[in-house]
Amino acid sequence: MKYTNLKGFPENFLWGAGTSAFQCEGAALEDGKGKSIQDIKTIQQGMADYCVACDFYHRYKEDIALLAEMGLKVFRFSIAWTRILPEGVGEVNRKGIAFYNEVIDTCLKYGIEPMVTMYHFDLPAALDAAGGWLNPATIDAFEEYVRILFENYGDRVKYWLTINEQNMMILHRAILGSGEVSKKDTMQENHHMMVAQAKAMILCHKICPNGKIGPAPNVSIVYPFSCKPEDVLAANIYSAIRNWLYLDVAVFGEYNALAWNYMREKDILPVYAEGDEEILRAAHPDFIAFNYYNTQTVTACREDQSIEGKGDQQTTTGEAGIYLGLKNPHLPRTSFGWLIDPVGFRNALNEVYGRYHLPIVITENGIGEYDSLTEDGRIHDSYRIDFLRKHIEQMRLAINDGADVFGYCPWSAMDLVSSHQGFSKRYGFIYVNRTETEMLDLKRYKKDSFYWYQRVISTNGEDLSDRQEDESNGISGKTI
């Protein structure tokens, strides 16, 4: 549906961009920081690890100045649990507290709203060694950790995100840093994270009078490959397992019925501890944040079907007897094989708003590509501009459809280490000069998309045109 009178983005729309601590800070063991599971995970030889990343820890002042120059209204970043509590519990690391005070204050100095993810894939290694999320003690550790965050930063941070992509940590546990455990244990871990999240939401409302908090899963609408009723059923079941299981607990305090009965059938139901039900029901998010990259397509799957590959956040393989991931022939792909589906973004926004009726902020959306730095210091990333423009157009349409969207944070503010595919897969508006294993000078360069997004923000999303000639005329690509 097209609109003859298309309304624009709301006034005060939060145009932003995001990063996460382990993917950009570096200083992995500096100033008292403890090891997280990301610091000990096995990295394929020749691929970047997280020791230096893009050295944001030492360069945050110049980086945030660049984000301010781009015009950001909000900067989404995560706090490394192990910088605050090196062992996950126990003694607080004052240098860690001081670092994030500086980051928050620097944002505020430029009028940028800080949006804090409290946990982005980087569980403290010490907690992991003690059983990780399977151990209910991790719920208490998380509650204590977030209490420290609210008490130290709650006077200045308004927007809090509980757990980044809990659904992906559960569905793709091995590639995102935690190794394999049985499916039953994984669902119990998931339940413990749900309870931990609920406790964080309750605490936020108690401690931070102006605080707003929400979950941040990865949402991908699931298309049936055909209009065969069996394919539609497969898509619905997979969508319940992939998307709604997590959001239903966060919003309604109870599991999605389809997802629950799938777990019952597979004998992987989580066990509720005493008091869990009340805690889950008492917690209420103020908004829903979600990360959107693309959509999935599935068909019904035979019981004896062999499932190939492992998939990743955006690539569905399947589960025998339930659903089988197929290539969507209507959609192009990035160089890394992820589908590109801007209209799917509109579908996702409408679906999430229709289900939960809560304001939405997009916390990730972007394209990972092999960027190249030209001899005169430029990065002509027209593919990124194209990707983002099409998604912003669809977001505007979704707003016209009625979805209450209050912010958009593309991934990522600057190049950083991918969650499992190294440094060559670049997402940022700002190029960071390093390779997979050589740190070079780590100098920052503004990509063409930097100037483009700057104009998008300054016109509140009205001007999405790609005027590369003007932008590269004298200013684009200058280093700072």
Which residues are part of the catalytic machinery? 165, 364
Q: 4: exposed, middle or buried (C-beta count within 10 Å: 0-12, 13-18, 19+)?
A: exposed
| DSSP code per residue over 62-118 | HHHHHHHHHT-SEEEEE--HHHHSTTSSSS--HHHHHHHHHHHHHHHHTTPEEEEEE
Eight-state DSSP code of residue 194? H
Q: Which residues pair with 164 in a beta bridge?
A: 216
The least distance separating ligand BGP from the CB of residue 293, rounded to whole angstroms, comes to 7
Residues 6+ apart with CB under 8 A from 436: 46, 47, 48, 422, 423, 424
Q: Of 106 and 418, which has the nearer Cβ to ligand BGP?
A: 418
Task: Say if CB 406 and CB 359 are below 8 A apart.
Answer: yes
Report how far residue 46's alpha carbon sits from residue 467's, in angstroms, rounded to the nearest whole number: 37
Q: Show the binding pattern over residues 201-240: x = contacts ligand BGP (CB under 6 A), - = does not.
A: -----------------x----------------------
Q: Show the binding pattern over residues 402-421: x = contacts ligand BGP (CB under 6 A), - = does not.
A: ---------x------xxxx
The least distance separating ligand BGP from the CB of residue 429, rounded to whole angstroms, comes to 15
Q: Of 20 and 328, which has the nearer Cβ to ligand BGP?
A: 20
The least distance separating ligand BGP from the CB of residue 50, rounded to whole angstroms, comes to 11
Q: Show the binding pattern over residues 344-383: x = contacts ligand BGP (CB under 6 A), - = does not.
A: --------------------x---x---------------
- Parallel, antiparallel, or unpaired: how do β-strands 222-224 and 212-216 relate? unpaired
Q: Which residues, 255 to 294, sit near ligand BGP by CB under 6 A?
A: 291
Q: Of 425 and 455, which has the nearer Cβ to ligand BGP?
A: 425
Q: Of 171 and 385, which has the nearer Cβ to ligand BGP?
A: 171
Q: Of 66 and 168, which has the nearer Cβ to ligand BGP?
A: 168
- Which amino acid, 292? Y
State the distance between the two ends of the chain, measured CA to CA, in whole angstroms.
Answer: 44
Report how far residue 122's alpha carbon sits from residue 368's, in angstroms, rounded to the nearest whole number: 21
Q: Show the binding pattern over residues 149-168: x = contacts ligand BGP (CB under 6 A), - = does not.
A: ---------------xx--x
User: Does 20 sit near ligand BGP (CB under 6 A)?
Assistant: yes
Binding site for ligand BGP (CB under 6 A): 20, 23, 164-165, 168, 218, 291, 313, 364, 368, 411, 418-421, 425
